[in-house]
Amino acid sequence: MIDATSSTNQASGKSPEPAIGLLIRDMEIDDLAPVYHLGDSLFTSDLYPYIYRTWDEWEVIGLYNTDPEYCLVAEIEGELAGFILGSIISKASLTYGYILWLGVNPVFQRRGIADSLVDKLIERLINDGARFMMVDTDPENTPAVNFFTRKGFGDLRRHVFLSMDLSQHPYYGRLITYEQEKAARSVWQRPRRRPNPKGG
């Protein structure tokens, strides 16, 4: 998922020049909270209410723990300008890179941050054997679709995503209510005291 405010230069079709003083580096433990908070401000539920993978702290922590070499941050003069979180997957004879999250601080829009992050991650993935890249985004996120198209991604396919509010379903809604009431009853039930065989 790329944030909808990422830098693009669709008129010319060329990547913007990288920002002066831009540093792309490995994400470190001290970056976890700032990256999470930036993502939290970008990937809001009003923009993306139906994405199957929602942004939370475990997205950052989990990827940092499992794929730290594919978690990169961009900074300018010590300030977080953006981040990219990726992974590499091998299935049978195919090894492909996967961009899971890409976010750019709105203060640093249109300064080549997203381009630089993607380029650096893809270089690293190629070095580790990836020969195919994948990314997904909400089809309504036109800036993201345009950005990745300009970067060379193609073969656009729409993903059908269905959802259901379980609390509104006639059967599942009753099941939810039953489970909630059962949990409430278990809190209020006091364990029975066993009689003391010694009479005390």
List, for residues 55-106, the tens digit of each pLDDT value.
Answer: 888 999 999 999 999 999 999 999 999 999 999 999 888 899 999 999 999 9
Nearest in space to 118 (alpha carbons), one of 94, 82, 89: 82
Span between the terminal Cα atoms of the chain, in Å: 65
- d(CA 37, CA 18) in angstroms, rounded, equals 24
pLDDT at 101: 94
Interatomic CA distance for residues 88 and 129, integer angstroms: 9
Tens-place pLDDT, residues 105-122: 999 988 899 999 999 999
- Mapped onto helix, strand or coil, the DSSP state of residue 152 is coil
Burial of 16 (0-12, 13-18, 19+ CB in 10 A): middle
Q: What is the pLDDT of residue 199?
A: 60
Percent of the chain with pLDDT over 90: 51
**Is this prediction's pTM over 0.95?**
no
Would the pLDDT of 21 be above 90?
no
Mean pLDDT of the chain: 84
> For the chain, what are the domain ranges?
22-150
Q: Which of 17-26, 91-100, 183-192 has the lowest mean pLDDT?
A: 183-192
Question: How many CB atoms are located within 10 Å of the residue 158 CB?
Answer: 6
What fold characterizes domain 22-150? Aminopeptidase (3.40.630)
**Which pair of tokens denotes residue 54?**
């929602």
Which stretch of 24-28, 62-66, 149-153, 160-164 has the lowest confidence by average pLDDT? 160-164
pLDDT score of 91 = 87
**What pLDDT score was predicted for residue 11?**
39
Query: What is the reported pLDDT for 8?
Result: 40
